[in-house]
Structure 1
Amino acid sequence: MISNEVQSILLHDKGKELIIPSENVANLNCNNNLYHALLVLSQVKYSSIPVLDNESRIRGLISMPMIIKAIMSIDSIHFEEMEKITVKEVMNKNVPIIYTSSELEEILNKLIDHNFLCVIDEQGYFIGIITRKEMLSRVNHLVHEMHNQYDLNDKSLTKIN
């Protein structure tokens, strides 16, 4: 179990929210074609991005390798097919999801295996993402600053005034 103090530090560190809001996250609609997906993915820093439906519910993830695989044959790449194939035909439907009410322990456990987690509310609407990079940045800050906040020689970790 993670203490309330550590949870508070990791979830609300530096006054900056852990969740990157949906309006700041590159995403695609499941009805977009692969040409559009390729353009979006070539402009963002993430290797994969969320795919949403028309109601802003998460439906999958799409990446550049998925697009390339969809237009490749054994002897050539069929770029002309990109405008005919939709994102929903190619996307990975296995999405790492957490809820806005998820506990820190669940978030940390899922971030072990994923670069980011899609955050949804109880109705299934896409709220944003939590990245492994941001969480590790917060953990790094916590372990480096712990000696300033606590007496580490004391087995009970007494807080320093």
Structure 2
Amino acid sequence: MTKPDQPIVAFFLVPKSEVIYEHENSTMRQALERMEYHRYTAIPILDNNGRYVSTITEGDLLWKIKNDNLSFQDTNNINLSEVPKNMKNYTVSINVSIEELVLLAGEQNFVPVVDDQQYFIGIVKRGDIIHYCYEEIFKSREKQPS
């Protein structure tokens, strides 16, 4: 796999239409159920205009339940905007370098991709970046003389 002619992010991008996300005015219960159904530990949170706001994790939801002594029923009444986020996921533009993408993927399950107006356009998954790097390393080893 060689570097593509188009920006590297476009090569890996999972478009918004294929990404599981929630809106900041969704409830904790909606996020919990969606994450459980899809078996995700983190999902992007968008505002009503489609701009990336943050990422919500299972840990964020569990800490909110624990710290506020909430029942599962209580989660129907709490919007995601009210849940403290314990980790900041950084976003990238479509033109980011592979080096920066690799650094972010080391810290995040996925890297949110936004346009110049901060509208969410998709994600790059950590696993796809790792696979790409593995292929590049393996290919470079094959080219070396023995």
Q: TM-score, normalised by structure 2?
A: 0.84
1:50 corresponds to 2:75: no
User: How many Å separate the matches in 1 of 2:31 and 2:137?
Assistant: 39
Is the Cα–Cα contact under 8 Å of residues 41 and 63 in structure 1 kept in the other structure?
Answer: no
Equivalent residue, structure 2, for 1:8: 4
* Aligned twin of 1:33: 27
Q: Which residue of 2 aligns with 1:159?
A: none
RMSD of equivalent CA atoms: 2.7
Q: 1:133 to 1:103 in 2, by over 3 A?
A: same
Counterpart code for 1:89: E
Q: Residues 73 and 140 (structure 1 numbering): CA distance in 2 closer, same or farther, change over 3 Å? A: closer
2:145 is matched with 153
Unpaired segments of 5 or more residues in structure 1?
Answer: 155-161
Which residue number corresponds to residue 71 of structure 2?
A: 78
Distance in structure 1 (CA, Å) of the matches to 2:61 and 2:112? 21
Counterpart-to-counterpart distance in 2, 1:22 and 1:137: 21
Instruction: Report the 3-state secondary structure (helix = DSSP H, G, I; strand = E; otherwise coil) of the residue aligned with 1:60.
Output: strand
Q: Which of 84, 91, 94 is 1:97 aligned to? A: 91
Q: Which has the larger radius of gyration?
A: 1
Higher relative contact order (CA 8 A, sep 6+): 2
Give the 3-state SS of the residue equivalent to 1:99 in structure 2: coil
Runs of 4+ in 1 over 6 A off after TM superposition: none
Structure 1 residue 51, shift from structure 2 partner? 0.2
Shift of 1:117: 0.6
Contact 1:72 1:78 in 2 (8 A): no
| Partner SS state of residue 31, structure 1 | coil
- Deviations for 1:85-132, whole angstroms, at most 9, x for unmatched residues? 101111527222111121222112212222211000111110111111
Number of equivalences? 144
State the identity %.
22
Match of 1:157 in 2: none
The 5 Å alignment of 1:74-153 reads: 77-92=70-85, 94-147=88-141, 150=143, 152-153=144-145
**Secondary structure of 1:42 counterpart:** helix
Give yes or no for contact 2:89–2:108 (8 Å, CA) kept in 1: no
User: Normalization by structure 1: what TM-score?
Assistant: 0.77
